[in-house]
Structure 1
């Protein structure tokens, strides 16, 4: 084939029905450089003379089936993306097409024009990616030393990014200091580590720090969320499978354990795996061997396993829901990552780091947080931990004006109302805690009223007229309460400094 200069991708449409061929050509002509063929011979001539990216072939052809023809195409022009169109949905044809002819997609009639065009655009993009990968492989062969140096530089950068001191962000007097010291001590030793703690506390970050602080740091680090997949898919993902092992297994698949050979496998949410899969995982950890699904042979792997869970695995073992032998295989060292509510000194520095990351992702510049916003964040329990804080800061950044300061008025209401003295485990106001405050009923109600008024004023940037309107008070009534609760000495910010998040 000779490459053409046309900018649009070249599509070869094959169909023995003239009307169908004309219809397809007319629909696709705006987006693609369309070539048509009514016979297999004509199609072969086009492939021999044109630079075709995608073939759209009807299944029922007079000389041979579309699948049979595309099998021969796969041999002579393996890079061409192959698609079958058919009015029949025979399962045998579909399986043959996928397994033998390497069909990208099987489209049934009647097809929808927009859906067909989208499928073809995706196929063209896949073809382009294949070409880019081929060029990259050629470059790597031409300059292996340079490629190796780039890989080394990237790994060194990753090692610095996940360093115990710089990669895990915390304050000077943080409870995480002791955790990081423990991670640093255990990292060089090839023992399994079990990380415990609530969701969102940063267990994966700790696992990466362990890997890049270990002797395996220049080998792969792979992650699998064990709670996100059923047993069958989890087994395939971790151990791999052979072609034909199950429906949809169209080619051999290397599992994560084999892919990470020499490196570290991070098994997140390990407490969610079923008892049946626990047995299979235990065998791998004991023997150091995996057996891909559908294979009769085992393969040796050399990996370090770091597991994580938000469950109490000791309790799960006692309840019989988690195997004790597997637990002890995983828990060579147990390290607990504290909740963010137990790390309040980390909140200001962590918030700044998360804001810098969000600014980089969204491309929107702000000057930072107001002191009041930081104080409100420090008062909140953050039941979703760092992940919840990340979402909150991203939301604040979206709502703020370009170049402005992120004020407390941009925070969610439940954060503005929070106080560590009377917040429950969910980070929300705990009525029982408030009821336990010493004092008369009047004093307790006034404490709650103070909280509500302060939260409303913050959201309205201390605009007393708007706050009074929302609370159903007159300005005189609100002023009286502000004097009583010591909130009357705060002045509203100038209008020019009010951000987009003001609800007034």
Structure 2
């Protein structure tokens, strides 16, 4: 008998505050698959929701009638300090937001127009921060009451984190192209050398950076992350270098920058290729001298930080074309590491899918017995242009739509099904695909026909009656074609 699927646990809660209905609905559509979303059109309405609902993350627009976003978040911080506060606006509001970042305790500033992937990543990180803050409060309480017992528990948790984010956390097969990358990590991690990680978006460059950190002598110190492509220069400078009280309007107290927060540990600068030449000059000085000057400070600050940078651009080309400083490139790329895309690692996909499924179970609070063999075959055949991130989203979709204990192939998006039916990566389902097949005209037509049959049957869960109706065939005609192409065994689907 099939095991029943467990009821879903409550998703992380988000309150979206935006007076524009279209923007509010766009944010809701982007978030509601992974979050419990509340919406409000004004600060007053949002306050009422906060009084009656438990909210973990607050995403607020800066420009609203009446009270501004920064002003509202200042009030929220006083009443609900545990709520993680994110503000969203355009470049034109940068000065107002910088001035209010400290007072309002703003966790992140998102620019319009926002990108769904960037927004989701920011919200996931904010929800995780809220969870970690709550856990930290609980551990602090236990520390005061249980002392040695908790110390042992923290040590065990630290070892688990090292395993999860070290080389053991990089899922790969025995013959994976990722294995040479892991060998290189093991060689360079113990030495304080700058590392430049390159690779397509979604390949797991941050995971590589964490693996380097947790294999280094800095493993017990901070690992700090900044996405350089998400902020304009003035905000990025304030984030990384900090500022002194009075440095600009609204700077009422000192703010410690990320370089100081990472002192003794590792600072990961993602999307380094998106920075401007002016900012690159300031970053180069920090790397060369080991010191920087916070905004408004008369004296430099010295830090001991290992910098790991990442980019999805070809920085050598960027240097040749004058968009990236040559001296900074060579300073960052003492050890270059390239992460192969997922399409070059098909042998890793089944293992990676199982690991991502575990994370998806926790995220959605929904249990499953795993994938069917047919589903894993389709996952392995697709090219995954969005790499690991796209694979993770596909698995989240499958789990959310599942009504049976096991995840079946029909839950996949059509483009993934088509690749699985073709038996080769990312093959388009159209007549032109036949041109790529070898053989006579009849052999090419047969190959295309077999592919269409297989994709239709997978999508319809091998229901031959529905497949015959969709394809305009009789059941007898369909069975004859399946026997001809060796597809008559079926996959256990309902034939009624």
Same-fold call, TM cutoff 0.5: yes
Match of 1:397 in 2: 399
Q: Is the 8 A contact 2:291 2:302 kept in 1?
A: yes
Inter-CA distance 260–151: structure 2 relative to 1 (3 Å threshold): farther
Match of 1:197 in 2: 199
Aligned: 1:159 with 2:162: yes
Match of 1:43 in 2: none
Match of 2:66 in 1: none
CA distance in 2, matches of 1:139, 1:418: 52
By how many angstroms is 1:480 displaced? Answer: 3.8
CA distance in 1, matches of 2:140, 2:489: 69
CA displacement, residues 268-323 of structure 1 (integer Å, 9 cap, x when unaligned): 11111111111111111111111112223210011000111111111111111111
TM-score, length basis structure 2: 0.69
Match of 1:62 in 2: none
Inter-CA distance 134–395: structure 2 relative to 1 (3 Å threshold): closer
Q: Is the 8 A contact 1:216 1:264 kept in 2?
A: yes
Inter-CA distance 397–328: structure 2 relative to 1 (3 Å threshold): same
Match of 1:501 in 2: none
CA distance in 2, matches of 1:441, 1:399: 40
CA distance in 1, matches of 2:134, 2:369: 44
For residues 285-434 of structure 1, what are the structure 2 equivalents within 5 Å?
285-401=287-403, 404-418=405-419, 423=425, 434=434
CA displacement, residues 55-78 of structure 1 (integer Å, 9 cap, x when unaligned): xxxxxxxxxxxxxxxxxxxxxxx9
SS at match of 2:398: helix
Aligned: 1:240 with 2:242: yes
For residues 252-291 of structure 1, what are the structure 2 equivalents within 5 Å?
252-291=254-293
Inter-CA distance 249–197: structure 2 relative to 1 (3 Å threshold): same
By how many angstroms is 1:248 displaced? Answer: 4.5
CA displacement, residues 442-474 of structure 1 (integer Å, 9 cap, x when unaligned): 432332232222111011111111112223333
Inter-CA distance 399–142: structure 2 relative to 1 (3 Å threshold): closer
CA distance in 1, matches of 2:267, 2:430: 41
SS at match of 2:336: strand
By how many angstroms is 1:145 displaced? Answer: 6.8
CA distance in 1, matches of 2:492, 2:369: 20
SS at match of 1:267: strand
RMSD: 3.6
By how many angstroms is 1:416 displaced? Answer: 1.1
By how many angstroms is 1:491 displaced? Answer: 5.3
Match of 1:4 in 2: none
Q: Is the 8 A contact 1:81 1:104 kept in 2?
A: no
CA displacement, residues 167-190 of structure 1 (integer Å, 9 cap, x when unaligned): 111112212111111101110011
Inter-CA distance 282–474: structure 2 relative to 1 (3 Å threshold): same
Higher alpha-carbon Rg:
1
Match of 1:469 in 2: 469
SS at match of 2:256: coil
By how many angstroms is 1:152 displaced? Answer: 4.2
Inter-CA distance 148–238: structure 2 relative to 1 (3 Å threshold): farther
CA distance in 1, matches of 2:261, 2:474: 68
Aligned: 1:481 with 2:484: no
Q: Is the 8 A contact 1:423 1:429 kept in 2?
A: no
CA displacement, residues 140-195 of structure 1 (integer Å, 9 cap, x when unaligned): 6788777766654443332122231x211111221211111110111001101111
Q: Is the 8 A contact 1:422 1:434 kept in 2?
A: no
Specify which structure has the bigger relative contact order, considering alpha-carbon pairs within 8 angstroms and separated by 6 or more residues: 2
Query: Could you list the runs of 5+ residues in structure 2 that have no partner in the other structure?
Result: 1-43, 53-76, 82-95, 107-132
By how many angstroms is 1:479 displaced? Answer: 3.1
Q: Is the 8 A contact 1:175 1:343 kept in 2?
A: yes
Inter-CA distance 422–152: structure 2 relative to 1 (3 Å threshold): closer
